[in-house]
Amino acid sequence: MSDYDNTNSGALFKNNRKEEGSNQPDMTGVLDVEGTDYRVSAWSNESKAGTKYLSLRVTEKQEFEGDAEQKDSKREADAPPF
């Protein structure tokens, strides 16, 4: 286990699955704020003046339905037999 504290930090990664012309984010990642994880999405844009910038959206991180099912089955497998 690492001694690194991720509180109030995060990272964005290039979205390699983005299809040309789609409105999917150019980058995605996770941000920790005071111990709560949030999902971050970013789009590359350019202003009318030609200045490049990132547009961001932050939402609460939610488990995917498949992830929850996998965790439930793991809990059942790890449970004692009595």
Quick one: pLDDT band at residue 80, thresholds 50, 70, 90?
Answer: low
Residue 35 lies in a domain: yes
pLDDT of 79 over the 90 cut? no
Q: What is the pLDDT of residues 7-66, one digit of tens each?
A: 999 999 999 999 989 999 999 999 999 999 999 999 999 999 999 999 999 999 987 666
Q: What pLDDT does residue 62 have?
A: 85
Residue 41 lies in a domain: yes
Enumerate residues 6+ apart whose C-beta is below 8 A from 33: 8
Residue 4 lies in a domain: no
Residue 1 lies in a domain: no
Residue 38 lies in a domain: yes
Q: What pLDDT does residue 69 have?
A: 54
Enumerate residues 6+ apart whose C-beta is below 8 A from 10: 29, 30, 31, 32, 38, 40
Quote the number of domains for the chain. Answer: 1
Q: What is the residue range of 55's domain?
A: 10-78
Enumerate residues 6+ apart whose C-beta is below 8 A from 28: 12, 13, 15, 39, 40, 41, 42
Residue 2 lies in a domain: no
Residue 42 lies in a domain: yes
Whole-model pTM: value is 0.68
